[in-house]
Amino acid sequence: MAGVERGGGAARPWYSYLNKRTVSILFLGFSSGLPLYTLIYLMQAWLAKAGLDVKALGLFGLVTFPYTFKFLWAPLMDRYAIGSLGRRRGWMALTQLGLFVVIGALGMLDPKSELALIALFVGVIAFLSASQDVVIDAYRREILAEEEQGLGAAIIVNAYKAASLIPSALGLVLADSQPWQVVFWVVAAFMLPGFICTLMSKEPAVYGAPPKNLEEAVVLPFREFVRRDGWNSALMIIGFVLLYKIGDTMTTALSTKFFLDIGFTTKQIGLAANATGWWASLAGGAVGGIWMIKLGINRALWVFGVLQALAILGFAWLANVGPDPVLLSAVFGFEAFASLGLGSAALVAFMSRATDPRYTATQYALFSSLAAVPRTFINSSVGYIVAETGWFWFFIVCFVLAFPAMMMLPKIAPWNSRHEKA
């Protein structure tokens, strides 16, 4: 996989990487994560409280299919600019304002009589959110220097995860005393800091000439990826990206439903997320970024992959023990730190390194779309699996599924590669 290995900066203190570019990535990562976690946590609790069963909630995940197919329209975002803000900032501003409006409006619908309309709104949110991800990922890859990519991946992943605390902690706590309409508009308002950041940021430099037509925007990125090291290498990268997070994403697909089923209240879930999730996300951001600078991307994939697999066992433990608030906080904290902190940061850094700067939006959208396949399609079957196995054995299955990708690491990211440093 030598053709994928890129970069390698000179040794320097980790704090020297903190600058205006990395701070902007922090705000944009938060804006990127908020819509998805609103669908995963807040919408799930809203619909569960309205009476939907576990199978229906699992199938509801299918309406988030845009996360899997965003590579189809990513070339348009590489080819065209929106308004005077530029090719990246224009698309970011448009999607962020759209998400603010649609997320707020979603909570004004009635789950008992307007379920089809809710599905439509969720689909629109997923489309706008996936489109925002395309352009933010391209912006991050282009605005950061090569030696900043590892730390940038850790920052955006942990900001992405930190955004989950708004719907899962603040939103669920508010839902205990406020109407759902108010809750959704409060959560939607947290899209605005990212919009302000977009307006204040600089447009990244263009690597070479932008695509002159749709053929260049669509065909050349895929041709370059395949020809870089051949079909075998390309298929190995695709398989690894597809499998690296499959166990973790299945584990958290119906986590709110799981917590409610074993006896927790929405307030307990929200307070546990707030008590440990926020600090664990901060720790994951700090440790993940610094650790990846020291380890390099290759070794981080090994170490972080093992830790995210171990985090799955915390859910199995909780399923066996029952509604223990202390254990709930511990599970929240370790999952935030290891799975959506460290593991995701390593995968994002790997995918960023695998893109050609000339085709950032399209190639990264392809990789991140593959990473979203388990969440969109496989996760839709999670409710049926749980119905057959029960929660404990479901989490054991998820733990086992965490290891096929780890077995690919000697080929995809050798521990002792001479390019192992980020």
In a domain, 32, yes or no: yes
232 pLDDT higher than 80: yes
Q: Tens of pLDDT along 101-110? A: 999 999 999 8
Average pLDDT over residues 161-189: 89
| Containing structural domain, residue 307 | 14-412
In a domain, 260, yes or no: yes
Task: State the Cα–Cα distance between residues 42 and 57, nearest whole angstrom.
Answer: 12
In a domain, 3, yes or no: no
Rg (CA), the chain: 20
Task: State the Cα–Cα distance between residues 277 and 273, nearest whole angstrom.
Answer: 5
In a domain, 1, yes or no: no
**Which residues, including other chains, have CB under 8 Å from residue 246's CB and lie 6 or more apart?**
374, 378, 401, 402, 404, 405
Query: What share of the chain in percent tops pLDDT 70?
Result: 86
In a domain, 371, yes or no: yes
Question: What local confidence, expressed as pLDDT, does residue 421 receive?
Answer: 47
CATH of the domain at 106: 1.20.1250.20
Task: State the Cα–Cα distance between residues 37 and 56, nearest whole angstrom.
Answer: 18
Task: State the Cα–Cα distance between residues 41 and 165, nearest whole angstrom.
Answer: 9
In a domain, 145, yes or no: yes
DSSP string, 244-257: TTHHHHHHHTTHHH
Q: Tens of pLDDT along 260-317? A: 899 998 888 878 776 677 677 667 766 877 788 788 889 999 999 999 999 999 999 9
Q: Please state the domain count of the chain.
A: 1
Q: Tens of pLDDT along 288-304? A: 777 887 888 899 999 99
Task: State the Cα–Cα distance between residues 340 and 249, nearest whole angstrom.
Answer: 9
- Please give the single-letter amino acid code of residue 40: I
Task: State the Cα–Cα distance between residues 42 and 298, nearest whole angstrom.
Answer: 35
In a domain, 8, yes or no: no
Average pLDDT over residues 138-146: 84
In a domain, 368, yes or no: yes
